[in-house]
A and B are shown apart, each in its own frame.
Chain A
Amino acid sequence: LAKTTQPISMDSYEGQEVNITCSHNNIATNDYITWYQQFPSQGPRFIIQGYKTKVTNEVASLFIPADRKSSTLSLPRVSLSDTAVYYCLVGALDGGSQGNLIFGKGTKLSVKP
């Protein structure tokens, strides 16, 4: 599975839009991109997943350019409760590597009042 690279940390203020970009230069044709959120003392929680172009749900949007070598998680109008670590992961559509997910270092987002 492709290795992912994302900023170690980001700061924002309440009400702002936050964009976290992840690099996955070696992504394979059969790979998809998925993002997870983790609060302290909790297990990670799924945010969004996509293969190409744009995906939107009630929580976030995911933008994937045509070459798929990067992706951007967009969080609209963040609040203090969005302070967490955000992980970008690449997974195999066909269950390669037995369907496991390999976590990178993640981005620690701090939202300030």
Chain B
Amino acid sequence: SAVISQKPSRDICQRGTSLTIQCQVDSQVTMMFWYRQQPGQSLTLIATANQGSEATYESGFVIDKFPISRPNLTFSTLTVSNMSPEDSSIYLCSARDGPNTEAFFGQGTRLTVV
């Protein structure tokens, strides 16, 4: 199994600013993913950040707004840029070591933009 730590766990940010969320995995993993979840809603995939390749973004999400780094096999960051109140959500990091293996999730980062 893998343990995923996300920082910060929550933050309140001013509109127009940027926040970088860190995701640390306690073991090396090939695949990492970033999701967004509105309260009471399901998870929406933002992007896939696999080692050795550029992040791949889902429809409706762009790199300028959500730049992602994946410097090594245990770490990734997601930046929410030029924030607006619509970006208020829970952001979740996920990791798995193969296409049909168990996916592990962090506890999430609760972001409020004011």
Chain A positions near chain B (C-beta within 8 angstroms): 32, 36, 41-46, 49, 87, 91-96, 98-106
Contacts and interface: CB of A to CB of B under 8 A. Distances in A.
Chain B facing A: main interface SS: strand
Given A98-B31, A99-B98, A100-B45, 10 more contacts: A41-B107, A41-B108, A43-B107, A44-B103, A87-B43, A92-B100, A93-B100, A95-B100, A99-B30, A103-B42
A59 B98 CA distance: 23
Contacts of B60: none
Nearest to B39: A40
A102 B106 CA distance: 17
Contact of A99 (B4, B42, B43, B50): B50
Contact of A43 (B30, B48, B56, B106): B106
A46 B99 contact: no
Contact of B45 (A41, A43, A96, A102): A102
B102 interface: yes
B25 interface: no
Determine the interface band of chain B, counting residues with CB < 8 A from chain A.
20 to 34
A64 to B, nearest CB: 15
Contacts of B75: none
Contact of A87 (B42, B50, B106): B42
B70 interface: no
Interface of B: 4, 30-31, 33, 35, 42-45, 48, 50, 56, 92, 94, 96, 98-100, 102-108
Contacts of B99: 91-96, 99
A98 B42 contact: no
A49 B102 CA distance: 8
Given A41-B108, A99-B48, A105 B100 contact: no
Nearest to B44: A103
9 contacts: A44-B43, A45-B105, A87-B42, A87-B43, A91-B99, A91-B100, A92-B100, A95-B100, A104-B42
Contacts of A98: 31, 48, 50, 56
Q: Which of B50, B98, B103: most chain A Cβ within 10 A?
A: B103
Nearest to A42: B107
